[in-house]
Amino acid sequence: MYISKTGCQVEQLLKRFSLITLSVALALGCSIKEERDGCPCRLFLDLTSIDVADQCPFFLSVFSDDGFEYQAVLDKDNFEDTCVVEVPRTELEIVVWSGGEDYMGERGLTIPLGSECPPVFIYSKRVHSKGEAVYDMVFLKKNYCILNLDFEDGHRVESLLLRGNVNGFDKSGNPVRGEFNVSSESDSVSVASAMFSIPRQNDSPLYLDVKELDGMTRTFPLHEYMSDFGYDWGGNDLVDLNMTLSYTASEMSITIRDWEKELVISVVI
């Protein structure tokens, strides 16, 4: 039987197509004919929003309730705009951390007593990997607030103590309860200003203890003042605050300022 040259070319193309199809099926880990629910899904994480210069290294975790876990540390040397992870077809938790690596452990991040919150940026999201691929874009959120505290009219105090009941974050990036305190004091010159770094709060109280030069300590509920100010602890990026304390003979006023509004609170002392 005579086979034309064109017929041979078609036959060769069909063979090549069959090989390519088989290679793709093997790469996916499942054949074309079998049920695909057990096949892995490819998770594509878009990292283009990350500031490589300031936020690297960062820590990537992908895990599920049924035991799957993937972890990676990415820095400037191995950073790429897209990270691809093979994952099971189930509900997953994606968590990306930047900062605070010295305080991180298996359960998350725990701030030692007496230490400030490190500059932590966290992204956390639950996704369901149902199909061949799932896509997600990572946006790291600023999870700490810088409180700048000043006294007007040259008033000086012996020390300041900021304390609360949130001392870190669990492995999903949620605030966790625990004793937190950090102090500002000086041996040679009395305190006239201070700066505190505070972790993202939930509904826990936050207090400022002011120890005067005469030894008397006054306690102020910062969480109430910040709530009156409209401070949003659930915001994507926590806003830093500037607070000024002014003393008179019988009262103290607390002024909270930012670029939107100013709040003045008077406290009888």
For residues 163 and 109, state if they share a domain: no
Give the chain's end-to-end CA distance (angstroms, integer). 110
Task: Report how far residue 122's alpha carbon sits from residue 66's, in angstroms, rounded to the nearest whole number.
Answer: 23
Question: pLDDT 10s digit of each residue in the chain, 269 long?
Answer: 333 333 333 344 333 433 333 333 334 444 433 444 568 899 999 999 988 888 889 999 999 988 889 999 988 888 889 999 999 999 999 999 999 999 998 889 999 999 999 999 999 999 998 889 999 999 999 999 999 888 887 788 889 999 999 999 999 999 999 999 999 876 556 778 889 999 999 888 999 998 988 888 988 898 988 888 888 999 899 989 888 888 765 666 777 776 555 666 666 65
Q: What is the pLDDT of residue 56?
A: 84
Which domain-ending residue is among 126, 141, 156? 141
Q: What is the pLDDT of residue 137?
A: 95
For residues 62 and 77, state if they share a domain: yes
For residues 181 and 73, state if they share a domain: no
For residues 89 and 70, state if they share a domain: yes
By three-state DSSP, how is residue 108 classified? strand
* CATH, residue 249: 2.60.40
Burial 102-116 (b: 16+ CB within 10 A, else e): ebbeeebbbbeeeeb
For residues 121 and 219, state if they share a domain: no
For residues 15 and 56, state if they share a domain: no
For residues 177 and 137, state if they share a domain: no
Q: What is the pLDDT of residue 125?
A: 94
For residues 28 and 51, state if they share a domain: no
For residues 97 and 166, state if they share a domain: no
Q: Which domain holds residue 173?
A: 144-268
For residues 119 and 84, state if they share a domain: yes
Q: What is the pLDDT of residue 245?
A: 82
For residues 170 and 191, state if they share a domain: yes
Please tell me what DSSP assigns to residue 48: T
Per the structure, how many domains does the chain have? Answer: 3
For residues 102 and 80, state if they share a domain: yes
Can you give the pTM of this predicted structure?
0.79
Burial 22-32 (b: 16+ CB within 10 A, else e): eeeeeebeeee
